[in-house]
Structure 1
Amino acid sequence: MAGQCIQHLLQEHRAAEELLAALDALLDSVEQERSWSAARAEAFARVRQFVSRDLPLHKCKEDTILFPALAGFLPSDTGPLDVLRSEFAGIAVEAGRMVDCAHALAQDPASPKLVQSFLRAGRAFGQLLRDHIYKEDRVLFPMVARHLPAEKDAALLAAMQQCCLPGGGPGA
């Protein structure tokens, strides 16, 4: 797969997978000890940053740069793009639940209900994001790489490298 803009997004996917591995380790630790701690909160800070900054930025790159560029050969309101957009909604819901539970656990670190809710949200978030990445890596991105002209690819990459969210830094 040769597309530079796709390679850019794939790099972000690999970083997300590394973060998900760290989240899995944290979830396993919480599940084993059935409690929250300062060390776990510190480990979760990286996840919280990903959820609040990196994930919305990646979604923005896809929604505002990549997906509109695919309008010539993929419908935007049905099919794969619609599915991927709806998946992001579920990912965001579980991410929000996970972050809220982590915040509540800081106040009540041994609450069985909060521990269980955190574990459920964290595992759901991880699975939804992994499934989403798999679909893009194996289905959407190879299709895009085959159909996207080189000049359009270069323009999309430049836009992605300049992309940023309000109050955020460059997206490159």
Structure 2
Amino acid sequence: MKVLGISGTIIGAKTSILVHKVLEEVKKEAPELETELLDLRDFKMSLCDGRDPSTYPDDTKKVIDLVTSADCYIIGTPIFQGSLTGALKNLFDHIPPQALRNKVMGFVANGGTYQHYLVVENQLKPIAGYFRAYVAPGFVYAHPDHFNQQNEIVDEDVLSRISHLAKEVVLLQKALKGAADLSAQR
């Protein structure tokens, strides 16, 4: 099983750092799981216009394939103007809804105010609902105060929430896999 971390921005480092840290905790919790980080800063994607993904002239098809082949996700975004990034929204627009159905998602976000955590509840979770994905109950929101000058996460509460999120994602994914395996045996 593969857990794909998605850093849903093309600028900055904090989102990628948060997602990577959750993936590290997933590996501690379940070393048998494969983890991979998809950092949108490393790929060139076209704006979604509804065409066949293989006709895009850049990394779009490769990114879609990475996302659709994963079993569960840690999805991160910085909060800009009270919303998720356009880059992450564009990625969601490219993904066929059936590709994420019944898969587990955990969310992390970072932003410049302490109120922007609401974007997870009011925007990211409804998107997961549209895809009919399972959402980990907890999430992680980090403010610039939670990082030191070297962009290391130093806030103990944030680190604890990262650990809890990793455990929830692993627990949900294993439970769903176990239920699917049991159902297949019948």
TM over 0.5: no
Query: Is the strand fraction higher in 1 or 2?
Result: 2
Higher-helix-fraction structure: 1
TM-score by length of 2: 0.31
- Give the TM-score of the pair, scaled to structure 1: 0.33
Rg (Cα) greater in structure? 1
